[in-house]
């Protein structure tokens, strides 16, 4: 299934036609290219999470058209059809460990595949494979998910989504609340999954370092709409514009900008590896390109 | 989940909003009892007009209240339909196997339904126009005399206000968990009754676990800040009844008197 996504003039209002109506998105237009790593940035309340729920078919737009591959979601789309969509899209919510409920880790991860019609044996094989992918060894299979540490629970919850073998993976701040090492490990895992499985991956995050390091494509949300879309280079090129929208730069880019202010120009610096490589070259005394 | 009106507070500055929460609480209780004084068409007509008047005074619009009735409609229908088949006196209108519908059954069903609608609407006035914490304050203030006979009034009020405070939080959490399970292919509204009931396990277990965790954290946080219940705690916001409240009490007294008066009006007596 083709998994490119287009939003065309999408509006969404929570509880439309009621005293509680709140507009969350207005005139949203963007494209999420397939088989790429797309990062979605924007400060809290800018509409990122609402957009993701529309993507996943948990909400239906109030206006406009969303195209997911060859399917269209319009305000008239029936809820039943949306369930089919979810088979192809895996969604990891914020603090996904809140979705754990089964008696054992293995059973919990089997929940998704079984719901989508896999037999017990198939589901078990998929679950075990997913658990190993996220680094949970077989010794944990029969544990209760509630005996695990926070980081391990997070991994099990993510395995629960991966076990459905989605072609597209949506991650809503998957590293929130983890220690820095845990965060970096998880991000490496996602990048590896994306590259190896040729997945379409959408990451919502506040951490610009990860965006600079991994993203192919970036969407910037502000006040319920997409205000900029492009490669990380183009998004991070204008640091003043980003600060005006209360967004940060990756640390490597900040450092490079500070160097540029002192007259040392480096180009294409989005993560620490690129920065150190270029600095090393420059400091050896050779002319940098 | 968000469509539930029961227990929601809609901010406003209407006449009803500005009433002392104790007044609203007491009057709502009185209304629930007073409605049983209505014994004929005139009584129900009066009660309906009175309710609609009170609704109009909230300035919130009638539709909000109708929406408030919707989630309870099924419950109301089941209860009233039972009434329909259990009351067997009066002229028989329809009979099949063990089911009989009589004129009395039909009448008492209608009355019961009306009672439900009016009581729910009136309690909705209280919850829509009063912040939950003000309701808890009102209860504490009203129960204050019970403290003398050893009822832990302060603790009870605290429990009520914490419970009310966490209703929206738990609702949000339930929505999030439901979304997460739906994303894992769960269908909450498919299959037979048993399958449906079962489908709520993946929602309820995480919800309970989170609620317990939250309760422990809240308890720790309160103790860490030196909270102790009872012991002559003072309030930042003092409740104060004013002329508006006396007018409301008067209006209610008049309503109850008129309701009693409807007994002497001609018309079918239920």
At residue B268, the pLDDT reads: 61
pLDDT grade for B6, boundaries at 50, 70 and 90: low
**A24 and A51 Cβ atoms separated by less than 8 Å:** no
Whether residue B168 is found in the same domain as residue B34: no
- Nearest Cα of chain A lies from the Cα of B197 at a distance, in angstroms, of 15
Are A226 and A284 a contacting pair, CB within 8 Å?
A: no
Q: Distance (Å) from the C-alpha of residue A266 to the closest C-alpha of chain B?
A: 44
- Rounded CA-CA distance B114/B245 in Å is 27
Q: Is residue B48 part of a domain?
A: yes
Residue B6 maps to a domain: no
Closest residue to A15, CB basis, from B2, B179, B209: B2
Subunit contact A91:B180, Cβ cutoff 8 A: yes
Contact criterion met (CB < 8 Å) for B183 and A58: yes
| pLDDT greater than 90 at residue B152 | no
Residues of A in contact with B185 (CB under 8 A): 83, 86-87, 112, 115-116, 164
Query: What is the total count of domains within chain B?
Result: 2
Are B123 and B23 part of one and the same domain? yes
Min Cα–Cα distance to chain B from A91, Å: 6
Does A93 sit within 8 Å of B184, measured CB to CB? Answer: no
User: Nearest residue on chain B to A97, judged by CA atoms?
Assistant: B206
Does residue B216 share a domain with residue B131? Answer: no
B37 within domain boundaries: yes
Same domain, B111 and B201: no
**Mean pLDDT value across residues A268-278:** 82
Among B185, B190, B214, most A C-beta atoms within 10 A, so best to mutate, is B185
B200 and B122 share one domain: no
Per-residue model confidence (pLDDT) at position B91: 76
Tokens of A98: 């809140």
Burial class from Cβ neighbours inside 10 Å (0-12, 13-18, 19+) for residue B168 reads middle
Q: Could you tell me if residue B68 is inside a domain?
A: yes
Asked if residue B2 is part of any domain, the answer here is no
State yes or no: pLDDT of A148 exceeds 60: yes
Which carries the bigger pLDDT value, residue B218 or residue A81?
Answer: B218
Which among B3, B67, B180 has CB closest to A98? Answer: B180
* CA-based radius of gyration for chain A: 21
Assess if residue B181 is contained within a domain.
Answer: yes
Say whether A56 and B202 touch across the interface (CB within 8 A).
no
Partner residue facing A93 (CB), from B3, B180, B187: B180
For chain A, the distance separating the N- and C-terminal CA atoms, rounded to the nearest angstrom, is: 42
Q: What is the domain range of residue B217?
A: 153-225
- Contact: B176, A160; criterion CB under 8 Å: no
Give yes or no: residues B121 and B162 share one domain: no
DSSP chain B: -TT--TT------STTTTS-HHHHHHHHHHHHHHGGG--BHHHHHHHHHHHHHHHHHHTS-HHHHHHHHGGGHHHHHHHHHHHHHH---S-EEEEETTEEEEHHHHHHHHHHHHHHHHHHHHHHHHHHHS-HHHHHHHHHHHHGGGGGGT--HHHHHHHHHHHHHHHHHHHHHHHHHHHHHHHTT--TT-S-HHHHHHHTHHHHHHHHHHHHHHHHHHHHHHHHTT--SSTT---SS-----HHHHHHHHHHHHHHHHHHHGGGS-S-B-
Confidence of residue A18 (pLDDT cuts 50, 70, 90): low
Note whether B74 and B119 are same-domain residues.
yes
Residues B131 and B27 occupy one common structural domain: yes
Residues B89 and B185 in one domain: no
**Whether residues B37 and B159 fall in one domain:** no
Least CB-CB distance to A111: which of B179, B184, B187? B184
Over residues B85-142, the pLDDT tens digits come to 887 777 777 777 777 788 888 888 888 888 889 998 998 899 889 988 888 888 888 8
Percent of chain A with pLDDT over 70: 96
Residues B131 and B245 in one domain: yes
Q: Is residue B235 part of a domain?
A: no
State how far the alpha carbon of A277 is from the alpha carbons of A108, A170, A214, A270, in Å: 44, 32, 17, 12
Q: Which residues of A touch B10 (CB under 8 A)?
A: 19
Which tens digit of pLDDT belongs to each residue from B154-178?
888 888 888 877 887 888 889 889 9
Examine the domain organization and report whether B180 and B63 are in the same domain: no
């Amino acid at each position: 299934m083709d998994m490119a996504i287009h939003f065309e003039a999408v509006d969404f209002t929570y509880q439309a036609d009621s005293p509680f109506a709140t507009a969350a998105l207005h005139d949203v237009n963007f494209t999420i290219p397939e088989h790429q790593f797309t990062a979605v940035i924007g400060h809290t309340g800018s509409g990122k999470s609402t957009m993701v729920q529309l993507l996943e078919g948990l909400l239906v737009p109030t206006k406009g058209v969303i195209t997911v591959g060859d399917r269209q979601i319009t305000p008239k789309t029936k809820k039943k059809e949306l369930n089919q969509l979810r088979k192809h899209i895996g969604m990891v919510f914020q603090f996904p460990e809140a979705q754990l409920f089964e008696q054992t880790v293995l059973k919990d991860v089997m929940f998704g595949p079984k719901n989508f019609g896999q037999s017990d044996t198939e589901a078990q094989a998929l679950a075990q494979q997913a658990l190993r992918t996220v680094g949970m060894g077989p010794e944990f299979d029969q544990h209760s998910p509630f005996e695990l540490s926070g980081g391990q629970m997070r991994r099990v919850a993510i395995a629960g989504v991966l076990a459905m073998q989605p072609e597209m993976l949506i991650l809503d701040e998957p590293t929130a609340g983890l220690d820095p090492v845990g965060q970096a490990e998880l991000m490496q895992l996602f990048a590896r999954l994306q590259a190896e499985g040729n997945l379409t991956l959408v990451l919502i995050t506040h951490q610009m370092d990860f965006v600079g390091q991994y993203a192919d494509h970036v969407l910037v949300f502000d006040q319920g709409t997409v205000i900029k879309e492009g490669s990380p280079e183009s998004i991070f090129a204008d640091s003043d514009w980003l600060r005006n929208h209360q967004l940060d730069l990756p640390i490597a880019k900040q450092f490079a900008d500070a160097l540029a202010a002192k007259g040392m120009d480096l180009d294409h610096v989005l993560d620490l590896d690129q920065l150190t490589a270029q600095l090393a070259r420059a400091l050896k005394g050779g002319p940098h390109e | 989940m968000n469509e539930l009106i029961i227990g929601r507070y809609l901010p406003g500055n209407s006449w009803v909003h500005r009433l002392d929460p104790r007044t609203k609480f007491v009057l709502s209780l009185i209304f629930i009892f007073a409605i049983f004084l209505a014994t004929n068409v005139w009584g129900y007509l009066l009660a309906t007009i009175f309710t609609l008047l009170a609704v109009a005074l909230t300035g919130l619009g009638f539709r909000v209240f109708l929406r408030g009735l919707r989630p309870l409609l099924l419950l109301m229908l089941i209860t009233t339909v039972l009434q329909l088949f259990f009351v067997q006196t009066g002229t028989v209108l329809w009979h099949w196997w063990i089911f009989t519908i009589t004129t009395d059954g039909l009448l008492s069903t209608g009355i019961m339904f009306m009672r439900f609608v009016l009581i729910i609407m009136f309690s909705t006035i209280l919850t829509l126009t009063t912040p939950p914490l003000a309701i808890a304050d009102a209860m504490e203030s009203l129960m204050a005399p019970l403290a003398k006979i050893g009822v832990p009034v302060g603790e009870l009020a605290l429990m009520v206000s914490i419970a009310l405070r966490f209703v929206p939080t738990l609702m949000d959490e339930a929505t999030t968990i439901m979304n997460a399970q739906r994303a894992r292919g769960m269908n909450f509204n498919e299959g037979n009754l048993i399958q449906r009931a079962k489908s709520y396990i993946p929602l309820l277990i995480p919800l309970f676990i989170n609620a317990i965790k939250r309760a422990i954290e809240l308890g720790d946080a309160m103790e860490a800040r030196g909270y102790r219940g009872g012991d002559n705690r003072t309030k930042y916001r003092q409740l104060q009844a004013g002329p508006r409240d006396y007018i409301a009490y008067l209006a209610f007294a008049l309503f109850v008197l008129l309701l009693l008066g409807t007994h002497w009006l001609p018309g079918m007596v239920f």
